[in-house]
Amino acid sequence: MNNNKQHILVTGGAGYIGSHVVLALLDAGYKVTIFDDLSLGFKSNVDERASFIQGSTLSESELDQALSQGIDGVVHLAAFKAAGESMTNPEKYSTNNMTGTLNLLNAMTKANVKRIIFSSTAAVYGYPMYLPVDENHTLKPINYYGYTKLMVEDVLNWYSELKGISFAALRYFNAAGYDVDGRVPNKEKNPANLLPIVMEVASGMRESMLVFGDDYKTKDGTGVRDYIHVTDLADAHVKALEYIDEKKENLTVNLATGVGYSVLDVIKSAEKVTGKKVPYHIVDRRPGDPDELIAISTKAGDLLGWDAKHSHIDTLLKTMWTLYKKD
């Protein structure tokens, strides 16, 4: 099937990752409709080439209406993702991440839409038993957010067997950065991740930041993570869609770089990129934070021809600073 004739529905397409995925799909020649309730997204993130429907995955009628427009496949990004919040408000995550996805799959079944790309997460693995983490690692989430994503992966396997739905589950590691061409105008809402917090300090939105622990078994004592540029993530969604279309088989892959940066690496790089000081205070570790978390994406490279082209820490921070320095 020709890309130019394929119509893709992107749930959560006005959000941080979603707006970048929409750009990648449009650039690849797909027709795109965004389905978003704007709880975490922005109407101004919607590219003029895309259609927009304001709706919720909790509304079966809104999903039915969206999927009645000749949709060929779905990219499902609508979810809450704050791991800490999921431990204090599991109801919110059950409803949105699990019930919303079940509603979507049922609506897809009714509309005879047979392909879905699902945004999963590194949180399905839990505490790393070995490094780098590959797709064969034990699945043992240590937060409820990770559990909701793992449950959806299980449901996708069942719907594939029972309803003939083809899927790709993409296990993201730490997404960061903004469109390398500057086409996404809005910063992520309520970020809780390291890189945006560093940017907020550099831009003066915060006076300083906390570094949780300096006694890890790493080169400088601070935690090490694997950061991936959101443009690289978006590219993987397009390649995954092409893969399940051509190969007619399901796919579960990590999206990571295999390179780790410590918290202090990120702060030093941010100071270099921005020319600003990033004051910080060392405090106690947070419970459940591993020393190091990096992953291998050989499978995505082999099957999709994908690699991370924009994920050097300086590139990540430069694309972020373009937005943050305006404040």
Cβ-defined contacts of 193-196 (< 8 Å, 24+)? 194/225, 194/263, 194/266, 195/227, 195/266, 195/270, 195/316, 195/317, 195/320, 196/320
3-class secondary structure, 167: strand
Q: Measure the CA–CA gap between 15 and 245, rounded to whole angstroms.
A: 25
Burial classification of residue 215, based on how many CB atoms lie within 10 Å of its CB (0-12 exposed, 13-18 middle, 19 or more buried): exposed
Beta bridge partners of 211: 282
Q: Strand locations in 209-284, DSSP E? A: 209-212, 224-225, 227-229, 251-255, 261-262, 280-283
Q: Measure the CA–CA gap between 275 and 73, rounded to whole angstroms.
A: 44
DSSP state of 286: P
Q: Which residues are catalytic?
A: 145
